[in-house]
Amino acid sequence: MSCVEDRGVYLNTYNLTGWGDNLHSAANDQIATSPPLLLGQNSQLTVWAHGGGNGTHAPDLESNPDDGYTTDSAGVAVVSAADGSLLGSVLTNGHGNLREDTIDLSALAGQIVRVEVVDAFQGSWGWIAVDEIRVTNALELDDAGPFPKAWGPDPSDGALNGATWANLSWTAGAFAISHDVYLGDSFDDVNSGTGDTFLGNQAGTSVLVGFPGFPVPDGLVPGTTYYWRIDEVNDADPNSPWKGDIWSFSIPPKTAYLPDPVDGAEFVELDATLGWTAGFGAILHTVYLGDNFEDVNSATGGSQGGLQPTSPPPRSNRKRSTTGGWTRSIRTRR
């Protein structure tokens, strides 16, 4: 099994074979085992696989049967790295069809597991081909030992949080007894722990922010990116504290954003449909369109689209060889 790991989004991808490559086996033949994986909150395994057989030797590939995963089944299993006990499984579909299946691993947060691909049949031969196995929110470990830092942030690093409050949570490092929490709108301040970024030390692995009586009592500010860090603390360990990675999340701005076509786009279709992402709390949008930047910017000329609901977006109807500008004025009703 090969692995491409991106710790920024905690995504492990395993490719056993390419689509169309068939693995033949006898009964109870385990094909491959992943390295140990430390599961975080809301982990999920997704597998794309297919299988088949020959005549009366067709394998037992019923998808998610009532009796679960057995030694006469073919599929993907999640087992404890400590004792090999079965923690979760999914059986691939037969008839040679590529199928997507999932295993919800959220109840196993904090456990170290391995992923096994098992090719076991009730006949003399059969095959299973795995196109891809993907595990979200999991850290791949080597044999050196447990992972000491906090990980598995929720919201995920770089996420857009669609509210002026957030419940920040994480998976504790292996040796943590308590957690130092830092939050602020300055990367440098959070990195150095300066200013008012230190929220305190706590035993739990979540903190609510953006409500009266909690950190940031006036609410998170639309259009702001927040940075946060968790340092793991264990006073009995001389290596403590373990400084955490810096994660971020953003609150959408009140103005419209993510225009489509993108800002500065060229060679746009004459009847292009203009789209955007609504600003925070927006219900209606006033749209202005024209070929003069100043007119559109001041909203005194050009083509005024008037009040628009969230859909459908307006069409541009521009002339050939024309550079157009457009803007969105957000009106919010509460």
SS (H, E, C) 139-171: EECCCCCCCCCCEEEECCCCEECCCCCEEEEEE
- Phi/psi for 297 (5° steps) reads -65, -40
Cβ atoms of residues 325 and 291 within 8 Å: yes
Distance of CA 18 to the CA centre of its chain: 24
- H or E, element range at 76: strand 74-80
Q: What is the per-residue pLDDT for 50? A: 64
Q: Band of the pLDDT at 230, cuts 50, 70, 90?
A: very high
Residue 61 or residue 177, greater confidence: 177
Which residue intervals of the chain bear CATH 2.60.120? 2-140
CATH class of 151-250: mainly beta
Which residue intervals of the chain bear CATH 2.60.40.10? 151-250
Q: What's the mean pLDDT in 224-248?
A: 96
- H or E, element range at 297: helix 293-298
Q: Which of 148-157, 272-281, 298-307 has the lowest mean pLDDT?
A: 298-307
Entry pTM: 0.61
* Amino acid found at 221: V
Domain 2-140 falls under CATH 1.25.40: no
Cβ atoms of residues 132 and 115 within 8 Å: no
Q: What is the per-residue pLDDT for 56? A: 33
* Amino acid found at 217: P
Cβ atoms of residues 3 and 14 within 8 Å: yes
Interval 83-141: pLDDT, tens = 777 888 776 544 456 667 788 888 888 788 888 776 554 444 455 666 677 888 887 77
Q: Is the pLDDT of residue 150 over 80?
A: yes
Interval 151-168: pLDDT, tens = 888 888 889 998 999 999
Q: Is the pLDDT of residue 26 over 50?
A: no
Q: What is the mean pLDDT of the chain?
A: 74
- Report DSSP state, residue 255: S
